[in-house]
Amino acid sequence: MAEAERIIGTPDTPDEGGEHTAAAGAPAGSGASTPAAASGAGEQQAPAEARGRRGRRIALLFAVAAFAYALDLISKLLVVAKLEGHEPIRLVGDWLELNATRNPGAAFGFGAAFTIIFTLIAAAVIVVIMRLARKLYSYPWAIALGLLLGGALGNLTDRIFRSPGVFEGKVVDFIAPKGFAVFNLADSAIVCGGILIVLLSFRGLDPDGTVHKD
């Protein structure tokens, strides 16, 4: 987690806690600002604007996460109620169908013997994203991290609340392409978020909004 925060870095913005006061010798009600007063006002405005920009990006992150989580949760409720225990529904011939399964492993059915480990990893990912959100100054990174957060929350909900027990619950999967593992919308959000992070890294865009060239 400490390494992840090191990668994010701290944006090069003015100290948000700093306060500036006008020169003590300025005449009261003079109507003319001293250089010190003008400088202090400008330096106070800069961190306020930075907080506003960061706040909008954090809001986007949580909006994307909430949307991804809601879609995953609703889809799983419908699958359990309408599809589980029934014949698969073909969408595109033999190439794509909806087939309800329960997955004790990670995304796409891998690692079925490590259910608790994957549960702890998902919880750790959520904690890391929540901590790093306070240093976020990039809209594309907000979208990517929001997708990761929403997907991790979706599958973690299954791990906690579904049978056979807390932290050992099986994830509901239902999207079944031909010749590929069955997955769900949470898995899709995680993969899309990961791909976007890779693309942003190749472009040199850091989560704090800076651009670097190797």
> 144-170 pLDDT, tens per residue?
999 999 999 999 999 999 988 887 888
Mean pLDDT of the chain: 79
Report d(CA 103, CA 93) in Å as an integer: 24
Report the catalytic residues.
Answer: 173, 187
Segment 17-29 shows an average pLDDT of 43
Q: Which residue has the higher pLDDT, 136 or 27?
A: 136
Q: What's the pTM value of the predicted model, to 2 decimals? A: 0.73
Sheet holding 96-103, edge to edge: 89-92, 96-103, 171-177
Nearest to 103 by CA among 189, 188, 168, 179: 168
What span, in angstroms and rounded, lies between the C-alpha atoms of 99 and 189? 19
pLDDT computed for residue 3 by the predictor: 44
Q: Residue 7 — pLDDT band, cuts 50, 70, 90?
A: very low
Distance of alpha carbon 47 from alpha carbon 51, whole angstroms = 6
Whole-angstrom Cα distance, residue 118 to residue 113?
10
Give residue 73's pLDDT.
Answer: 97
Comparing 214 with 183, which gets the higher pLDDT? 183
Model confidence at 5: pLDDT above 60 = no
Residue 132: its pLDDT value, please?
81
